[in-house]
Structure 1
Amino acid sequence: MHSTTNIVIAGLGGQGIITASDILAEAAFRAGFDVKKSELHGMSQRGGSVTSDVRFGERVLSPMVPAGQADVLLVLEPSQVEINRPLMRADGVLLTTDVIPPDALKNKKSLNVAMLGALSSVLEIAETHWLAAVHAHLAEKLHRLNDEAFALGRRASASMPG
């Protein structure tokens, strides 16, 4: 990765894009990075496109990921891959829900956290920071379910070729 790590999370309204970016930003902050975050909601209440940029590093000046500079593009909705692909750098990592085995999640609403688990396998942020951030942003009654979803995504991504 570069001195500033650029992540774009994309999907549709209601998929937990903003929650996922909040968790990522907090995990990076807990790991000691300077963090900036921005989001674009569009028609998110009606299932419209939603993106959120998270940038972290030693010192970050702008919250927006410049076009063609995303180190990682994490996409929760397949229809959003091609729309957002121009945001990725040529050697960037594309993470899609294909990494999560079908019907592996106990609750489909935890897909965003499972995808953060997948993301965690390509970033240098300790798992303890990720889980602390998940717990800080979700109700206690959801911790175990989301811990399991995170672990599922982490295992699934680590076992992918490439």
Structure 2
Amino acid sequence: MEKVKNIVIAGLGGQGVLTASDMLAEAAFRAGFDVKKSELHGMSQRGGSVSSDVRYGEQVLSPMVPAGEADVLLVLEATQIEINRPMLRAGGVLIGPGLLPDGALKNKKSLNVALLGAVSTVLDIPQEHWMAAIYANLAEKLHKVNDQAFALGREAALQGSIAQHH
């Protein structure tokens, strides 16, 4: 049986953590995987810590990623990296806002989609499922800017600036 993939997405309220986890879960589901998701709202008001676990594979029994078992830790806010680092397994991949060149994003609200583009390079989900999931979760007027954001994140990751955690 294929190993379950564990992804933790973390950031601050209002940054799109939950939208990003919805997109990831939907992309994995569209790719034919069993998917479970859980959301942990710290301080749920804008600005508080928020994280969401997404697990997918042939069969997923629990929605929670155990500490030290995340294959990917996607962090939207630099201040949340150290807080969430214990979730990452040895050899797991940390993707954070520093991955993108400064000023590269046309719309700061697209950071979550840009970093999903980076995540897409390390997960076994075909790109068409990512795009379908992004479109399904965003208003049509946001599709073009998020196409660009996804491509930007993917490109940054493929240029080798993704950090491996040891």
Query: After superposition, what is the alpha-carbon deviation per residue over 1:125-155, rounded to whole angstroms, capped at 9, x for unaligned?
Result: 1110000000000000100110110000000
Contact 1:6 1:71 in 2 (8 A): yes
- Runs of 4+, deviation exceeding 4 Å: none
1: CA distance, partners of 2:92 / 2:161:
15
Report how far residue 13 of structure 1 moved.
0.3
Q: Could you tell me how far apart the structure 2 residues matched to 1:95 and 1:161 are?
A: 9
Kindly report the root-mean-square deviation, in angstroms, between the aligned alpha carbons of the 2 structures.
1.0
Q: Report the Cα offset of residue 41 of structure 1.
A: 1.2
Q: TM-score, normalised by structure 2?
A: 0.95
CA distance in 2: counterparts of 1:102 and 1:9, whole angstroms: 21
What SS does the corresponding residue of 1:93 show, helix, strand or coil? strand
One-letter code of the match for 2:12?
L
Percent identical pairs in the alignment equals 71
Q: 1:58 to 1:144 in 2, by over 3 A?
A: same
Residue 62 to residue 161, structure 1, CA distance change in 2 (3 Å): same
Using the alignment, how far apart are the partners of 1:110 and 1:35 within structure 2?
A: 24
Cα 1:135–1:93, aligned 2, differ >3 Å: closer, same or farther? same
Amino acid at match of 2:41: H
What runs of 5+ residues in structure 1 fail to find an aligned partner? none
Which residue number in structure 1 is paired with residue 20 of structure 2?
A: 20
Is the 8 Å Cα contact of residues 27 and 132 (structure 2) preserved in structure 1?
yes
Cα deviation, 1:33-89, whole Å, max 9, x if unaligned, reads 000000111213230100000000000000000011000001011111111111110
CA distance in 2, matches of 1:106, 1:61: 39
1:38-57 aligned within 5 A:
38-57=38-57
Matched AA of 1:99: L
Aligned length: 161
Distance in 1, matches of 2:103 and 2:76, equals 15
1:69-84 matched pairs, under 5 angstroms: 69-84=69-84
Letter of the aligned partner of 1:58 in structure 2?
E
Alpha-carbon separation, structure 1, partners of 2:106 and 2:80:
24
Q: Distance in 1 between matches of 2:15 and 2:145?
A: 16
